[in-house]
Amino acid sequence: MDIAQAKRRENIAEYILYLWQIEDLLRAVQFSPEAVYTQLIAPRNIPEEQRHIFLLWYMDIANLLRQEGKEEKGHLDHTLHLINDMNDLHLQLMKLPVGERYRQTFAKLEPELPRLRSVLGRNTNDIELCFRALYAAMLYRLKGEGNKSAVSDTLEYISPVIAQLADMYGKVERGEIDLFKEEKTEGE
């Protein structure tokens, strides 16, 4: 809960990947409140009086997964909506002057997208495809298979794109960037 809140404020991409990891952890403990408590809450240095709040947060996510019929696989609609918002920003950055640097970074990834689609077997927008590839690479690393070239290629091409997009998303959300205004150059 505390980690998710911090990630949501600081980096939307890390927040989404973190929630996906929580979904899988909840599935691994079969949504058992006892297992959630003993495996996800008790080992952390959380004050006793706050542990029940953390348990309720985890169980809220478990209930959402059940309500959405995603007990075995799939991701919460909440994160998929955020990814769609990021994809909308991606599409704007591909056209607007403020996205020039982003377009240069994305151009390095673009030739890899058909290969990613064939590996992941997904017919989805480019940004969701990138998130699914990043999450798969993260799981490979956790399993100790992170040295494979497909994993390192994925991270090399996708990470810079998602990092820039997440940064822009945060700046737009905080009102630090107006997509439709020309960027001021230094000295103006």
Cα separations in angstroms, 7 against 85, 119, 139, 156, 179: 17, 29, 19, 22, 23
Cβ partners under 8 Å of residue 130, min gap 6: 109, 116, 158, 161, 162
Confidence band for 155, pLDDT divided at 50, 70 and 90: confident
Give percent of the chain with pLDDT exceeding 70: 91
Give percent of the chain with pLDDT exceeding 90: 71
3-state secondary structure of 37: helix
Confidence band for 184, pLDDT divided at 50, 70 and 90: very low
pLDDT at 119 over 50: yes
